């Protein structure tokens, strides 16, 4: 049955979930404080690169199932479910910055009136305890406004999102599970029913448990990556092949083959931030999260592995041109947040190298990320229009992000170069015929 949904924040998660809810037949209002973003969305432009999103958004707009606004009053009054999908970035101490979430609650609370009942759903990743804190926070805001029985005017529910960038639409439409946490099972059930067309596995929990499931899931996946990267580093010393080790491990269904790809570390807007936030939450309660701290430190070291390897072949990089293929934190996205390419390029520049960088879609975002370096190093950092142009005049190539277009390359163009494959994309026996080749954790 059609339900009225407002989605607060039309970033990655807000836009994908809003468009998908509309595609599922609900009426959706997407709200953002970024006026330019909303104007673009009204014109049907998709401000992020996400395969499949433009299609479902276009269909939702054509069917008038989705509309966009910057007007909180309109969004709150015309919805029964209000999904919060604003950012929860890391503060310098690693804790989650909840100021955007808090500001969204304040704006919503301004427009909940006597007689209303709204279900406020946290889709943003928020630390365990936030939902119950939010209940009291919003109740007080309503009380200050003189609203009758403020606690009856709303409920707060946790419905964490597990989508991956690049596969976001598919992940939303075919979820492994939908987790809904609330202090009232009936309210949780109402949120779960929004997904009924997808017939997903549904887990209904209390508020803090749902919040913790999100952090524990991301932290576990990040742990798998740091684990396999550490194993890769040991493999290198003894001539073992980490890709085969991972396959051998993954055949054990208790381990599963996923997230065991060794490489130059994990990036993105969530793994680094969420592991750090969980560390902060643990410490705040007097716990010593040693394992989680190692997940971060192993990852920080791993990001610079390709440069370390390059230095073994070219010990002095002063004046040496190095091509870097792949800038986004992973393929199929233009997202540069915490991308391993950032420390890699910064280190290359600080060692005196000239860098020619290429990415199929993330160059514009990369230019913003490297604004300071572009000013400081001038022509020493350039962005190439295609992968082969980046190779011109380069003595070395570092592959950081395994975009599909790098799979089948004209290997002749790599002749004589030092190639560091940060994602184990190519076959060593083939590469060694053309270039000096190194990958991660393979003999
Ligand atoms: N990016 C991802 O793949 C995933 C992200 N998440 C979580 O979802 C949340 C959102 O992440 P993203 O979509 O990546 O964030 P984002 O940074 O792409 O988008 C956030 C949006 O919220 C808007 N915004 C900020 N304050 C606002 C306010 N007071 N009212 C209305 N709009 C406001 C911003 O203008 C922006 O458009 C985070 O907590 C993140 O951890 C969860 C799963 C996947
Ligand atoms: O909370 C979030 O935001 C999301 O975080 C991740 O999704 P995402 O960051 O989009 O990307 P992933 O595909 O998980 O990759 C993250 C990083 O890990 C790296 N990775 C992944 C898998 C692997 O085996 N090895 C590896 O190094 C990738 O290159 C990438 O840098 C989770 O996979 C999602 O379930 C979650 O919803």
State the CATH number of the domain containing residue 386: 3.40.50.720
Examine the domain organization and report whether 227 and 326 are in the same domain: no
Q: Express each pLDDT in 125-176 by its tens digit.
A: 999 999 999 999 999 999 999 999 999 999 999 999 999 988 999 999 999 9
Active site residue 270: yes
Percent of the chain with pLDDT over 90: 97
Q: Are residues 72 and 194 in the same domain?
A: yes
Among 301, 331, 364, residue at a domain's last position:
301
- Asked whether the whole model's pTM tops 0.90, one would answer yes
From the alpha carbon of 270, which atom of ligand 1 is closest? 41
Q: Does residue 124's CB lie within 6 angstroms of at least one atom of ligand 1?
A: yes
Residue keyed to tokens 């394992």: 291
For residue 357 and ligand 1, the question of a CB distance below 6 A is answered with no
Q: Which of 87, 88, 160 to mutate to test the pocket of ligand 1 (most atoms within 8 A of CB)?
A: 87
Is the CB of 84 inside a 6 Å radius of any atom of ligand 1?
no
Residues 239 and 289 in one domain: yes
Count of domains for the chain? 3
Output the pLDDT for position 1: 82
Residues 428 and 328 in one domain: yes
C-alpha dist (Å) from residue 48 to 333, 366, 384, 418, 440? 8, 14, 21, 34, 31
- The answer to whether residue 443 is domain-embedded is no
Residues 89 and 127 in one domain: yes
Q: Which atom of ligand 2 is nearest to the CA of 329?
A: 31
pLDDT tens profile 28-75: 999 999 999 999 999 989 998 899 999 999 999 999 999 999 999 999
pLDDT tens digits along 196-221: 999 999 999 999 999 999 999 999 99
Last residue of a domain, one of 158, 182, 205: 205
pLDDT of residue 281: 97
Domain membership of residue 85 as a residue range = 4-205
Q: Ligand 2: which of 96, 178, 219, 221 to mutate, judged by most atoms within 8 Å of the beta carbon?
A: 221
- Region 304-330: what's the mean pLDDT? 98
Same domain, 278 and 318: no
Together in a domain, 317 and 425: yes
Give the ligand with the smallest distance to the CA of 87.
Answer: 1
377 is in an annotated binding site: no
Token code pair at residue 203 = 């887990």
- Based on the domain organization, do 188 and 291 belong to the same domain? no
Region of 84 on the Ramachandran plot (φ > 0 left; ψ -120 to 50 alpha; else beta): beta
Same domain, residue pair 194 and 60 = yes
* 31/135 same-domain check: yes
State if residue 11 touches ligand 1 by the CB under 6 angstroms criterion. yes
70 and 186 in a single domain? The answer is yes
- Averaged pLDDT of the chain: 97
Residue 210 falls inside a structural domain: no
Note whether 380 and 372 are within 8 A (CB): no
pLDDT of residue 92: 95
% of the chain exceeding 70 in pLDDT: 100
């Amino acid at each position: 049955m059609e339900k009225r949904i407002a989605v607060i924040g039309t970033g990655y998660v807000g836009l994908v979930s809003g468009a998908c809810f509309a595609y599922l037949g609900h009426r959706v209002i997407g709200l953002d404080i970024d006026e330019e973003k909303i104007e673009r969305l009204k014109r049907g432009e998709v401000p992020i690169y996400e395969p499949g999103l433009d299609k479902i958004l276009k269909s939702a707009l054509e069917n008038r199932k989705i509309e966009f606004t910057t007007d909180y009053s309109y969004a709150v009054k015309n919805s029964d479910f209000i999904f919060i999908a604003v950012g929860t970035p890391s503060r310098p101490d690693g804790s989650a910055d909840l100021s955007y979430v808090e500001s969204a609650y304040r704006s919503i609370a301004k427009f909940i009136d006597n007689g209303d009942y709204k279900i406020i759903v946290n889709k943003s990743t928020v630390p365990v305890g936030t939902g119950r804190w939010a209940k009291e926070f919003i109740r007080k805001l309503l009380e200050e406004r003189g609203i009758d029985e403020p606690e009856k005017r709303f409920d707060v529910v946790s419905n964490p999102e597990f989508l991956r960038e690049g596969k976001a639409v598919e992940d939303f439409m075919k979820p492994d599970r939908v987790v809904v946490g609330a202090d009232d099972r009936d309210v949780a059930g109402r949120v779960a029913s929004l997904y009924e067309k997808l017939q997903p596995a549904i887990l209904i929990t209390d508020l803090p448990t749902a919040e913790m499931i999100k952090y524990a899931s991301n932290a576990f996946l990040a742990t798998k990556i740091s684990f396999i990267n550490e194993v890769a580093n040991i493999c290198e010393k003894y001539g073992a092949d980490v890709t085969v080790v991972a396959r051998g491990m993954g055949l054990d269904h208790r381990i599963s083959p996923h997230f065991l790809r060794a490489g130059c570390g994990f990036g993105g807007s969530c793994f680094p931030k969420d592991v750090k936030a969980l560390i902060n939450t643990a410490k705040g309660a007097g716990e010593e999260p040693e394992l989680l701290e190692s997940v971060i430190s192993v990852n920080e070291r791993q990001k610079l592995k390709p440069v370390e390897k390059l230095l073994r072949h070219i010990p002095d990089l002063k004046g040496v041109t190095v091509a870097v293929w792949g800038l986004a934190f992973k393929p199929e996205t233009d997202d540069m947040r915490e991308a391993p390419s950032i420390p890699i390029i910064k280190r290359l520049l600080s060692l005196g190298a000239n860098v020619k960088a290429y990415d199929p879609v993330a160059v514009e975002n990369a230019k913003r990320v490297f604004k300071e370096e572009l000013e400081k190093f001038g022509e020493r950092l350039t962005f190439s229009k295609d992968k082969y142009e980046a190779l011109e005049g380069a003595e070395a190539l570092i592959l950081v992000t395994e975009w599909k277009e790098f799979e089948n390359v004209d290997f002749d163009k790599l002749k004589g170069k030092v190639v560091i494959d940060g994602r184990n994309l190519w076959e060593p026996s083939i590469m060694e015929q053309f270039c000096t080749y190194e990958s991660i954790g393979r003999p």
